[in-house]
Amino acid sequence: MPANRIGFTALSLPQLKITQEVITIAVFIPFAVLAMNQPLKWDYLWAGLCLLGAVYFTFRS
């Protein structure tokens, strides 16, 4: 969903921002592990769980 006037008609501004963050971390973690040879860390799991909580609270209403 693009974060422009089209996206803003379907979702609120906080929902667009949380969606952006989820997409960013979903792309960044595999890139960091596979392309940049970084070790998989527990911090990635905790960051993902925090984002899942943010998604829940942002989209529940």
Q: Two tokens at 32?
A: 């960091």
Q: Would you state the pLDDT for residue 11? A: 85
Those residues with Cβ within 8 angstroms of residue 18's Cβ, 6 or more apart along the chain or in another chain = 51, 54, 55, 58, 59
Kindly report, residue by residue over 5-24, the tens digit of the pLDDT.
Answer: 667 778 888 888 898 899 99
The single-letter DSSP state of residue 33 is I
Evaluate if residue 54 carries a pLDDT over 80.
yes
Evaluate if residue 4 carries a pLDDT over 70.
no
- Main-chain dihedrals φ then ψ at residue 41, nearest 5 degrees: -115, 155
Structure pTM?
0.77
- CA 6 from chain centre, in angstroms, equals 20
Evaluate if residue 56 carries a pLDDT over 90.
yes
